[in-house]
Amino acid sequence: MSAEESDNFAIDVRSLNKHFGDKHVVNNVSLQVRRGEIFGFLGPNGSGKTTSIRLMCGLLTPDSGSGTCLGYDIHTESDKIKREVGYMTQKFSYWDDLTIRENLDFVARMYGMPNRRVAVEKTLEDLGLTTRANQLTGTLSGGWKQRLALAACMLHQPRLLLLDEPTAGVDPTARRDFWEELHRLAAQGISVLVSTHYMDEAERCHKLAYIAYGKLLAQGYAADIVAEQGLHTWTIHGEHLTELSDQLRCAPGVDQTVAFGAALHVSGRDATQLEKSVHEIAAARGLRVEPSSTGLEDVFIYIMSRSQDNIGATH
Protein backbone atom coordinates (compact mmCIF):
# COMPACT_ATOMS: atom_id res chain seq x y z
CA MET A 1 0.00 0.00 0.00
CA SER A 2 1.31 3.47 -0.87
CA ALA A 3 2.06 6.02 1.80
CA GLU A 4 -0.51 8.32 0.28
CA GLU A 5 -3.18 5.73 0.63
CA SER A 6 -2.35 5.02 4.24
CA ASP A 7 -2.47 8.77 4.84
CA ASN A 8 -6.15 8.63 4.09
CA PHE A 9 -6.76 6.28 6.96
CA ALA A 10 -7.17 7.41 10.50
CA ILE A 11 -6.98 3.78 11.56
CA ASP A 12 -5.46 1.04 9.49
CA VAL A 13 -4.76 -2.16 11.36
CA ARG A 14 -4.10 -5.60 9.94
CA SER A 15 -4.52 -9.05 11.44
CA LEU A 16 -4.56 -7.98 15.07
CA ASN A 17 -4.56 -10.81 17.60
CA LYS A 18 -4.83 -10.72 21.34
CA HIS A 19 -5.11 -13.54 23.85
CA PHE A 20 -5.94 -13.36 27.52
CA GLY A 21 -4.70 -16.64 28.89
CA ASP A 22 -5.96 -19.22 26.41
CA LYS A 23 -8.87 -17.03 25.38
CA HIS A 24 -8.54 -15.63 21.87
CA VAL A 25 -10.22 -12.29 22.48
CA VAL A 26 -9.27 -10.51 19.26
CA ASN A 27 -8.95 -12.86 16.33
CA ASN A 28 -7.29 -11.61 13.15
CA VAL A 29 -9.04 -8.26 13.11
CA SER A 30 -8.27 -5.93 10.20
CA LEU A 31 -10.00 -2.61 10.12
CA GLN A 32 -9.73 0.62 8.15
CA VAL A 33 -11.28 3.91 9.14
CA ARG A 34 -10.98 6.83 6.74
CA ARG A 35 -10.33 10.36 7.85
CA GLY A 36 -13.48 12.27 8.68
CA GLU A 37 -15.52 9.09 8.86
CA ILE A 38 -17.82 7.95 11.64
CA PHE A 39 -17.17 4.27 11.98
CA GLY A 40 -19.56 2.17 14.02
CA PHE A 41 -18.20 -0.82 15.90
CA LEU A 42 -20.90 -3.31 16.78
CA GLY A 43 -21.02 -6.62 18.53
CA PRO A 44 -22.48 -8.33 21.56
CA ASN A 45 -21.00 -7.99 25.04
CA GLY A 46 -17.65 -9.67 25.44
CA SER A 47 -17.03 -9.85 21.71
CA GLY A 48 -13.76 -7.93 21.93
CA LYS A 49 -14.72 -4.35 21.07
CA THR A 50 -13.05 -2.73 24.04
CA THR A 51 -9.96 -4.88 23.64
CA SER A 52 -9.70 -3.97 19.94
CA ILE A 53 -9.96 -0.27 20.72
CA ARG A 54 -7.27 -0.59 23.40
CA LEU A 55 -5.01 -2.31 20.89
CA MET A 56 -5.47 0.53 18.45
CA CYS A 57 -4.49 3.28 20.87
CA GLY A 58 -1.54 1.48 22.43
CA LEU A 59 -3.13 0.62 25.76
CA LEU A 60 -2.60 -3.04 25.04
CA THR A 61 0.13 -4.69 23.02
CA PRO A 62 -1.13 -7.03 20.32
CA ASP A 63 0.24 -10.57 20.30
CA SER A 64 0.59 -10.25 16.56
CA GLY A 65 -0.54 -7.96 13.78
CA SER A 66 0.47 -4.50 12.76
CA GLY A 67 -1.02 -1.20 11.83
CA THR A 68 -1.12 2.53 12.12
CA CYS A 69 -3.25 5.00 13.94
CA LEU A 70 -3.16 8.51 12.41
CA GLY A 71 -0.14 7.29 10.47
CA TYR A 72 1.79 6.31 13.60
CA ASP A 73 2.82 2.73 14.18
CA ILE A 74 0.78 1.13 16.95
CA HIS A 75 3.79 -0.85 18.17
CA THR A 76 6.43 1.84 18.35
CA GLU A 77 4.72 5.22 18.34
CA SER A 78 2.04 4.92 20.96
CA ASP A 79 3.29 8.15 22.58
CA LYS A 80 2.47 10.11 19.45
CA ILE A 81 -0.83 8.33 19.10
CA LYS A 82 -1.78 9.26 22.65
CA ARG A 83 -1.21 12.95 21.97
CA GLU A 84 -3.61 13.08 19.05
CA VAL A 85 -6.27 10.60 20.02
CA GLY A 86 -9.19 11.24 22.31
CA TYR A 87 -10.20 8.02 24.05
CA MET A 88 -13.44 7.77 25.95
CA THR A 89 -13.40 4.66 28.08
CA GLN A 90 -16.45 2.44 28.41
CA LYS A 91 -16.48 2.90 32.16
CA PHE A 92 -16.36 6.52 33.31
CA SER A 93 -12.72 7.07 34.16
CA TYR A 94 -12.36 10.62 35.42
CA TRP A 95 -11.64 11.27 39.05
CA ASP A 96 -14.80 11.26 41.16
CA ASP A 97 -13.06 13.05 43.99
CA LEU A 98 -11.97 15.96 41.84
CA THR A 99 -14.36 18.71 40.84
CA ILE A 100 -15.46 19.08 37.25
CA ARG A 101 -13.11 21.99 36.70
CA GLU A 102 -10.19 20.19 38.36
CA ASN A 103 -10.68 17.18 36.11
CA LEU A 104 -10.71 19.29 32.98
CA ASP A 105 -7.75 21.29 34.19
CA PHE A 106 -5.82 18.10 34.90
CA VAL A 107 -6.47 16.78 31.41
CA ALA A 108 -5.44 20.09 29.85
CA ARG A 109 -2.19 20.02 31.79
CA MET A 110 -1.48 16.44 30.79
CA TYR A 111 -1.60 17.44 27.14
CA GLY A 112 0.43 20.56 27.86
CA MET A 113 -2.17 22.89 26.39
CA PRO A 114 -0.80 26.42 26.09
CA ASN A 115 -4.11 28.22 26.65
CA ARG A 116 -5.25 25.88 29.36
CA ARG A 117 -7.52 28.13 31.43
CA VAL A 118 -9.33 29.51 28.41
CA ALA A 119 -9.88 26.02 27.01
CA VAL A 120 -11.23 24.73 30.32
CA GLU A 121 -13.59 27.65 30.80
CA LYS A 122 -14.82 27.37 27.23
CA THR A 123 -15.50 23.67 27.66
CA LEU A 124 -17.38 24.33 30.89
CA GLU A 125 -19.43 26.95 29.10
CA ASP A 126 -20.18 24.70 26.14
CA LEU A 127 -21.27 21.99 28.53
CA GLY A 128 -23.41 24.44 30.46
CA LEU A 129 -21.59 23.44 33.61
CA THR A 130 -20.00 26.76 34.52
CA THR A 131 -22.18 27.17 37.57
CA ARG A 132 -21.47 23.62 38.73
CA ALA A 133 -17.78 23.64 37.92
CA ASN A 134 -16.82 23.26 41.57
CA GLN A 135 -19.09 20.31 42.15
CA LEU A 136 -17.42 16.94 42.77
CA THR A 137 -17.54 14.86 39.61
CA GLY A 138 -18.72 11.79 41.48
CA THR A 139 -22.02 13.52 42.22
CA LEU A 140 -22.94 13.94 38.55
CA SER A 141 -25.67 11.82 36.97
CA GLY A 142 -24.83 9.27 34.28
CA GLY A 143 -25.84 11.52 31.41
CA TRP A 144 -23.77 14.40 32.68
CA LYS A 145 -20.78 12.18 33.29
CA GLN A 146 -20.99 10.99 29.72
CA ARG A 147 -21.10 14.56 28.42
CA LEU A 148 -18.20 15.53 30.63
CA ALA A 149 -16.18 12.51 29.50
CA LEU A 150 -16.73 13.37 25.86
CA ALA A 151 -15.82 17.00 26.42
CA ALA A 152 -12.72 15.99 28.37
CA CYS A 153 -11.44 13.62 25.73
CA MET A 154 -12.02 16.36 23.12
CA LEU A 155 -10.26 19.04 25.12
CA HIS A 156 -6.88 18.65 23.46
CA GLN A 157 -8.48 18.77 20.01
CA PRO A 158 -7.65 15.23 18.93
CA ARG A 159 -7.79 14.20 15.27
CA LEU A 160 -9.26 10.83 16.10
CA LEU A 161 -11.89 9.92 18.66
CA LEU A 162 -12.18 6.41 20.03
CA LEU A 163 -15.49 6.18 21.86
CA ASP A 164 -16.30 2.99 23.71
CA GLU A 165 -20.05 2.65 24.18
CA PRO A 166 -20.40 6.36 24.87
CA THR A 167 -24.19 6.33 24.99
CA ALA A 168 -24.81 3.28 27.13
CA GLY A 169 -27.37 4.23 29.75
CA VAL A 170 -28.01 7.68 28.32
CA ASP A 171 -31.53 8.94 27.63
CA PRO A 172 -32.78 9.28 24.02
CA THR A 173 -32.66 13.08 23.88
CA ALA A 174 -29.11 13.16 25.13
CA ARG A 175 -28.22 10.43 22.65
CA ARG A 176 -29.64 12.46 19.77
CA ASP A 177 -27.70 15.56 20.83
CA PHE A 178 -24.61 13.43 21.16
CA TRP A 179 -24.90 12.10 17.63
CA GLU A 180 -25.49 15.55 16.21
CA GLU A 181 -22.28 16.63 17.88
CA LEU A 182 -20.44 13.65 16.40
CA HIS A 183 -21.59 14.54 12.91
CA ARG A 184 -20.51 18.14 13.43
CA LEU A 185 -17.07 16.92 14.43
CA ALA A 186 -16.83 14.54 11.49
CA ALA A 187 -17.72 17.42 9.19
CA GLN A 188 -14.68 19.23 10.58
CA GLY A 189 -12.52 16.30 9.52
CA ILE A 190 -12.27 14.48 12.82
CA SER A 191 -12.42 10.71 12.52
CA VAL A 192 -14.54 8.75 14.95
CA LEU A 193 -14.60 5.09 15.89
CA VAL A 194 -17.59 4.45 18.10
CA SER A 195 -18.73 1.19 19.62
CA THR A 196 -22.40 0.80 20.35
CA HIS A 197 -25.25 -1.61 20.94
CA TYR A 198 -27.96 0.58 19.49
CA MET A 199 -29.16 -0.14 15.96
CA ASP A 200 -30.47 3.36 15.43
CA GLU A 201 -26.96 4.59 16.16
CA ALA A 202 -25.50 2.05 13.77
CA GLU A 203 -27.69 3.53 11.06
CA ARG A 204 -26.17 6.95 11.68
CA CYS A 205 -22.60 5.78 11.06
CA HIS A 206 -20.91 6.14 7.70
CA LYS A 207 -19.48 2.67 7.92
CA LEU A 208 -19.83 -0.30 10.23
CA ALA A 209 -17.98 -3.32 11.46
CA TYR A 210 -19.58 -6.20 13.28
CA ILE A 211 -17.51 -8.30 15.65
CA ALA A 212 -18.44 -11.49 17.50
CA TYR A 213 -16.23 -13.88 19.46
CA GLY A 214 -13.27 -11.71 18.56
CA LYS A 215 -13.78 -12.08 14.82
CA LEU A 216 -14.87 -9.37 12.41
CA LEU A 217 -17.87 -10.86 10.67
CA ALA A 218 -18.74 -7.93 8.42
CA GLN A 219 -17.32 -4.54 7.54
CA GLY A 220 -18.37 -1.78 5.15
CA TYR A 221 -21.28 0.51 4.30
CA ALA A 222 -24.53 -0.46 5.97
CA ALA A 223 -26.29 -0.97 2.63
CA ASP A 224 -23.50 -3.24 1.38
CA ILE A 225 -23.51 -5.33 4.53
CA VAL A 226 -27.25 -5.80 4.21
CA ALA A 227 -27.08 -6.59 0.49
CA GLU A 228 -24.21 -9.06 0.94
CA GLN A 229 -26.31 -11.42 3.01
CA GLY A 230 -28.99 -11.61 0.30
CA LEU A 231 -31.85 -11.77 2.78
CA HIS A 232 -35.50 -11.14 1.97
CA THR A 233 -37.82 -10.08 4.72
CA TRP A 234 -41.56 -10.04 5.40
CA THR A 235 -43.31 -8.45 8.33
CA ILE A 236 -46.28 -10.12 10.01
CA HIS A 237 -48.46 -8.00 12.30
CA GLY A 238 -50.45 -9.54 15.10
CA GLU A 239 -50.43 -11.01 18.60
CA HIS A 240 -49.19 -14.29 20.14
CA LEU A 241 -46.16 -14.09 17.93
CA THR A 242 -44.06 -16.56 19.91
CA GLU A 243 -46.06 -19.54 18.85
CA LEU A 244 -46.23 -18.24 15.30
CA SER A 245 -42.51 -17.72 15.21
CA ASP A 246 -41.86 -21.32 16.37
CA GLN A 247 -44.07 -22.58 13.59
CA LEU A 248 -42.46 -20.34 10.98
CA ARG A 249 -38.96 -21.38 11.87
CA CYS A 250 -39.72 -24.94 10.88
CA ALA A 251 -41.21 -23.86 7.58
CA PRO A 252 -39.19 -24.19 4.35
CA GLY A 253 -37.44 -21.00 3.16
CA VAL A 254 -37.48 -19.36 6.57
CA ASP A 255 -34.02 -18.76 7.98
CA GLN A 256 -34.84 -16.53 10.92
CA THR A 257 -37.61 -14.74 12.77
CA VAL A 258 -37.15 -11.67 14.90
CA ALA A 259 -39.89 -10.13 17.04
CA PHE A 260 -40.21 -6.33 17.14
CA GLY A 261 -43.05 -5.64 19.55
CA ALA A 262 -46.31 -6.43 17.70
CA ALA A 263 -44.50 -7.25 14.48
CA LEU A 264 -42.49 -10.26 13.41
CA HIS A 265 -39.69 -10.00 10.87
CA VAL A 266 -39.35 -13.19 8.89
CA SER A 267 -36.25 -13.49 6.75
CA GLY A 268 -34.78 -16.00 4.36
CA ARG A 269 -32.46 -16.22 1.38
CA ASP A 270 -34.82 -18.12 -0.86
CA ALA A 271 -37.35 -15.42 -1.83
CA THR A 272 -40.00 -17.66 -3.39
CA GLN A 273 -40.02 -20.35 -0.73
CA LEU A 274 -40.09 -17.68 1.96
CA GLU A 275 -43.02 -15.85 0.41
CA LYS A 276 -44.96 -19.09 0.07
CA SER A 277 -44.39 -20.19 3.67
CA VAL A 278 -45.13 -16.78 5.16
CA HIS A 279 -48.37 -16.38 3.26
CA GLU A 280 -49.59 -19.88 4.04
CA ILE A 281 -49.01 -19.62 7.75
CA ALA A 282 -50.25 -16.02 8.09
CA ALA A 283 -53.38 -16.74 6.06
CA ALA A 284 -54.21 -19.73 8.26
CA ARG A 285 -54.33 -17.36 11.25
CA GLY A 286 -55.76 -14.39 9.43
CA LEU A 287 -52.78 -12.16 10.05
CA ARG A 288 -51.65 -9.20 7.98
CA VAL A 289 -48.44 -9.69 5.99
CA GLU A 290 -46.35 -7.12 4.14
CA PRO A 291 -42.99 -7.17 2.40
CA SER A 292 -40.36 -5.07 4.09
CA SER A 293 -36.73 -4.16 3.60
CA THR A 294 -34.17 -6.15 5.52
CA GLY A 295 -32.79 -4.04 8.37
CA LEU A 296 -29.33 -3.96 9.93
CA GLU A 297 -30.61 -5.68 13.00
CA ASP A 298 -32.03 -8.58 10.98
CA VAL A 299 -28.71 -8.92 9.23
CA PHE A 300 -26.62 -8.80 12.40
CA ILE A 301 -28.77 -11.40 14.10
CA TYR A 302 -28.43 -13.54 11.00
CA ILE A 303 -24.66 -13.13 10.83
CA MET A 304 -24.39 -13.86 14.51
CA SER A 305 -26.40 -17.06 14.42
CA ARG A 306 -24.58 -18.31 11.36
CA SER A 307 -21.20 -17.71 12.95
CA GLN A 308 -22.43 -19.55 16.05
CA ASP A 309 -23.44 -22.46 13.83
CA ASN A 310 -19.99 -22.40 12.28
CA ILE A 311 -18.30 -22.37 15.65
CA GLY A 312 -20.59 -25.17 16.76
CA ALA A 313 -19.73 -27.17 13.66
CA THR A 314 -16.00 -27.03 14.25
CA HIS A 315 -16.31 -28.72 17.63
Partner 1 sequence: MDNFFSFSRWWSIVLKEFLQLRRDRVTFGMIVGIPLIQLALFGYAINTDPKNLPTAVIAADQSEFTRTLVAALQTSGYFVVTEQLRTEEEGRAALAQGRVQFVLNIPVDFTRRLLRGERPALLLEADATDPAATGMALGAINQIAQTVVMRDVTGSLAHLAGKSSPFEVRVHRLYNPENNSQFNTVPGLMGVVLTMTLVLMTGLAMTRERERGTMENLLAMPVRPVEVVTGKIVPYIAIGLIQSSIILLAAWLLFRVPFIGSLFAVYVAALLFIAANLTVGIMLSSVAQNQLQAMQMTMFYFMPNILLSGFMFPFRGMPQWAQAIGNVLPLTYFNRLIRGILLKGNDWIDLWPNLWPIALFTVVMMVIAVKFYRRTLD
Ligand X SMILES: Nc1ncnc2c1ncn2[C@@H]1O[C@H](COP(=O)(O)OP(=O)(O)O)[C@@H](O)[C@H]1O
**Footprint of partner 1 on this chain (CB under 8 A)?**
54, 57-61, 79, 82-83, 85, 87, 89, 91-98, 102, 105-107, 109-112, 136
**Residue from 10, 16, 25, 163 that binds ligand X (CB under 6 A)?**
25
d(CA 127, CA 167): 16
Say which entry of Mg ion, partner 1, ligand X, none residue 89 contacts (CB below 5 to 8 A, set by partner kind): partner 1
**Residue from 9, 13, 16, 47 that binds ligand X (CB under 6 A)?**
47
| C-beta of 122 vs 197, nearer to Mg ion | 197
| C-beta of 120 vs 149, nearer to Mg ion | 149
Could you write out the DSSP letters of every residue in 214-256? TEEEEEE-HHHHHHHHT-EEEEEE-S-HHHHHHHHHHSTT--E
d(CA 164, CA 57): 12
Closest distance to Mg ion from the beta carbon of 233 (Å): 30
| C-alpha torsion sign, points 236, 241, 242, 248 | negative
The region, left, alpha or beta by phi > 0 then psi within -120 to 50, assigned to residue 41 is beta
| C-beta of 111 vs 198, nearer to partner 1 | 111
d(CA 229, CA 85): 34
Closest distance to partner 1 from the beta carbon of 249 (Å): 42
Closest distance to partner 1 from the beta carbon of 186 (Å): 21
Q: Where are the alpha helices (DSSP H) in the chain?
A: 3-7, 49-56, 78-84, 100-110, 116-127, 142-154, 172-187, 199-203, 222-229, 241-250, 271-285, 296-314
Say which entry of ligand X, Mg ion, partner 1, none residue 61 contacts (CB below 5 to 8 A, set by partner kind): partner 1
Closest distance to ligand X from the beta carbon of 43 (Å): 5
Interaction of residue 90 with Mg ion, rule CB under 5 A = yes
Closest distance to Mg ion from the beta carbon of 50 (Å): 3
Q: Name residue 218's beta-bridge partners.
A: 210
Closest distance to partner 1 from the beta carbon of 215 (Å): 21
d(CA 230, CA 269): 6
Site string for ligand X, 161-200 (x = CB under 6 A): ----------------------------------------
